[in-house]
A = this chain, B = another copy of it.
Amino acid sequence: MSKESRQKLNHEEILGKRIPLSGIENAQRAPVWGILDNVRSLYNVGSIFRTSDGAMISGLMLCGFTPTPPRKEIEKTALGATLSIPWEHYKTTGEAISAARDRGACICVLEQTSQSKSCFDLTEQTFPVCLVVGNELTGVDPGLVRHADIAIEVPMYGTKHSLNVAVAYGIALNQLVQTWREQMVVRKVRDARA
């Protein structure tokens, strides 16, 4: 197709490509959970719900003082994604991580550490996985960082210390989901040959 025939999709055309909320129980969800370790901002939490819907992950674990739905400020940025993404609240992030380990998940913290891997280098990542993101000012608790299975980071080439938590979550989460989808394709090709 030439670029002259490129048409921006309108609202109805886009929604026609989406899962309707009424059919959400049949959605294919990536085996990925987000764990929010004491995220403070209602707007960041809402944005993380919206991003999680786009990637269609399995759920969110909201921990500690992370605010939970229903809150009008969360809705302002979630735009309804609190209805399509299952969530649970845990009193501490440690409890959420224990529950995730019981479900067999790899615990992956998004944090700059002495041995973080680039989020663009995840080919050997195992699933299910939980992506742990931390507080806007203090990041993920150092004790949790030490005991996680893996630490990843968004490569930073500039002058600033860190990214906004909702943006960093979006970048890393989409890499994880993309990695899972690529692994699925490889597995299907292998199975078809066997």
Q: Is the CB of B112 within 8 A of A145?
A: no
Chain A positions within 8 Å of B, measured between CB atoms, are 1, 3-9, 11, 14-15, 17-21, 24, 27-28, 30, 47, 50-56, 77, 79-81, 84-85, 111-115, 120, 139-140, 142, 145-151, 154-164, 166-168, 170-171, 174, 177-178
Report the minimum CB–CB distance from A5 to chain B (whole Å): 7
- A24's contact among B5, B111, B159, B170, by CB below 8 Å, is which? B159
Instruction: Identify the closest chain B residue to A52 (Cβ).
Output: B158
CB-defined contacts of A1 to chain B, threshold 8 Å: 114-115
Report the minimum CB–CB distance from A120 to chain B (whole Å): 5
Q: Is the CB of A7 within 8 A of B113?
A: yes
Q: Is the CB of B159 within 8 A of A80?
A: yes
Q: Is the CB of A55 within 8 A of B157?
A: yes
Given contacts A9-B113, A47-B167, A164-B47, contact A55 B158 (CB under 8 A): yes
Complexed CA–CA distance, A1 and B25 (Å): 42
Complexed CA–CA distance, A167 and B27 (Å): 23
Q: Is the CB of A21 within 8 A of B159?
A: yes
**7 CB < 8 A contacts A-B:** A8-B140, A18-B158, A18-B161, A77-B164, A79-B160, A163-B170, A167-B167
Q: Is the CB of B7 within 8 A of A167?
A: no
Complexed CA–CA distance, A94 and B100 (Å): 50
Complexed CA–CA distance, A151 and B4 (Å): 12
Report the minimum CB–CB distance from A96 to chain B (whole Å): 19
CB-defined contacts of A77 to chain B, threshold 8 Å: 164
Report the minimum CB–CB distance from A133 to chain B (whole Å): 13
Complexed CA–CA distance, A168 and B114 (Å): 29
